[in-house]
Amino acid sequence: MAAEKFAVAVPTDAPPPFAQISWNGRTWDLARRLGHGKFAVVHEAKCRDLPHKRVAAKIINKQAISAWGEAQLTTEIDVWKSLDHPHICKLYGSVTEGSYVILFLELATGGELFERILERSTFLEKDASRLIGQLLSAVAYLHERGVIHRDLKPENLLLDSMDDNASLRIADFGAAKLLSGLVSADSPALASTPCGSLGYAAPEQIRQQLYERQCDLWSAGVIAYVLLSGAHRTASARARTHARTHARFAAAVAAHGRRAKSSRAAPSRRAP
């Protein structure tokens, strides 16, 4: 997996928490930073014995996340490892180093779809159609296996190259849930945890109602709109009239994290 360039809007010279990691019987040297989030940083990792072998190492600080976040991290790893689809970034494995969990991922050299949107502003219909088709193919695969993503957005979608015809990869399952029970139109499995990203979350998520796998389709529709128009739907006058509802949704997501964190010493009280 050669790496030419990873288009990100963050500094790439920041040092990782440690210089090397032992995984899969080999030593991996951490190189340039590819991106970062609130609780994680992603570095390119090069195999010392086989320099042509390169992966992305997502380093997560467990001390910075809530009890619910820790439980969700376990779910993320279990779900992600079971997935095998051309438009889902592969999770090869994971290790724990002290208070850090490191996920070893397929290296996508084209950067985030979000960055590509900033560069191009709008996409031709044929390009947007191709990317959304790839996304929906991956979403259908997830839903067939009872997995609901719950946080589809351009920041969680990577491109496999810098080419104009690059393929898309879903690359984050931090909010994913494995639905229990029969998943069908007649007997849908429901979720209730407040999660997702404002602007891409479905109305029922924002209203803090029970929701099901179709929330992922709403998010995909918003992404299609952004690709074609270059504008975000939350900038519309109609969306601004729902500012209070949006604020309540954001507060609910934050409150859920605080409740889970306060219950870290009492596992039986953790939020589902």
pLDDT tens profile 4-38: 222 333 333 446 678 889 998 999 999 988 888 77
pTM of the model: 0.77
Residue 63 has a CB neighbour count (10 Å cut-off) of 9
Phi, psi dihedral angles at 253 (to 5 degrees): -60, -45
265 pLDDT more than 70: no
pLDDT digits 0-9 by tens, 150-203? 999 999 999 999 999 999 999 999 888 888 654 454 555 677 777 778 889 888
Q: Are 32 and 44 in contact (CB under 8 A)?
A: yes
In one-letter notation, the amino acid at residue 49 is: D
Q: Which of 88, 159, 78 is nearest to 119 (CA)?
A: 159
Q: Are 129 and 211 in contact (CB under 8 A)?
A: no
72 pLDDT more than 90: no
In one-letter notation, the amino acid at residue 165 is: N
Read off the tokens for 170.
Answer: 């879903």
Active-site hit among 151, 160, 172, 216: 151
228 pLDDT more than 70: yes
Write the CB contacts of 230 (distance below 8 Å, at least 6 apart in sequence). 117, 121, 122
234 pLDDT more than 60: no
254 pLDDT more than 80: no
**Known catalytic membership, residue 164:** no
